[in-house]
Structure 1
Amino acid sequence: MAAHTLRGLYGPRPGLALLCARFSQWSGTEYRSSHSLDKLYPPRQDGTATRATVRGGGGGKRKTARDDVPCPFLADRLTVSYSRSSGPGGQNVNKVNSKAEVRFHLASADWIPEAVRQKMALMHRNKINQAGELIVTSQESRYQMRNLAICLEKIRTMVTEAIEKPKVVSKETTQKLLERVEKMNRERLRQKKIHSTIKQSRKADFD
């Protein structure tokens, strides 16, 4: 079921190529920055995109979605905007609109199965505004296109987490957890009794 859902959600779509063409800072030229989407998300033969490692402004690797889930986004379904980043950064922060914001109406996002949309609405209700739009932002990098790629990665991670089914805990594991909790409670009560005895002995010595 999960595999069928993934195939339906992430089937061959021209979304990445459209998004790269629409939001490229060098549209109409042959030059492509190392931070452009077509390099962060190299296209595959089936028209989808595989993910290169997306790094934040600090240089560390981000937690990303599974490698076998291609980029599903359609340019005409997303609203992308840029603004000034907050925090330290000198002239780059004050003069460059490097912060990226991506939003889309979750309830009408028919490229995501309805059951997954409902789960995403519960898991990320603090990121949904009154208009029903799911909003994701990034200002981790100095580069506008890299922040856009991070936003897309966040959305894809949300979708992947909503698709995955919760792990079923076996009876043996449940029993071990209960025994561990009971043992911890017994030890806590023992330490509490020892502490109470010490306090009583100090009070008796004082009297």
Structure 2
Amino acid sequence: MLQYVSRTSAVRGIGYPSLVRCYPAGRPGGSSDEAELDSARKWLAKLDPETIPRGICDITFSRSSGPGGQNVNNRYHAAKGNDIVIQADESRKQTNNVNACFKKLNELIIEAGREAVPGETSPEQTKRVEMLQKAEAAGRRKMKEFQSKKKSARRSGSGRGDD
């Protein structure tokens, strides 16, 4: 039996873990963390669709949706799981659609990496943050002193109007 090769190709990738930004913008004394972040930034910078190993994905091709192809590729027949399904049908050629799928996977990984790995903080920004933290601490200290003086004035009895 002759099967039609479709214009639609799909790439099933490895499970998609929930990526949450777990690093604050700056950690005091985090040299090992900084080295890890630097290596993650370099890895993301080098990543492109050609560097993604083709073996980590299951590549499948769906049948044509042309005449007689009703209910072939509907959502009820799709496998459910923790996989990412990336689909492309921009071209009539299978290889172009596979490359388009890997390009989409690359963009997805880079987007997740941008959310998970913070950018480098400039020395000016670090200094500005330190100054803001010092100003906040000074303002908090001033407010505490004000509240303390107000309470001590109440305790001493002055200002109550007891004649």
TMscore range, shorter length: 0.3 to 0.5
Structure of greater relative contact order (alpha carbons < 8 Å, 6+ residues apart): 2
Q: TM-score, normalised by structure 1?
A: 0.34
Work out which of the two has the higher radius of gyration on C-alpha atoms and give 1 or 2.
Answer: 2
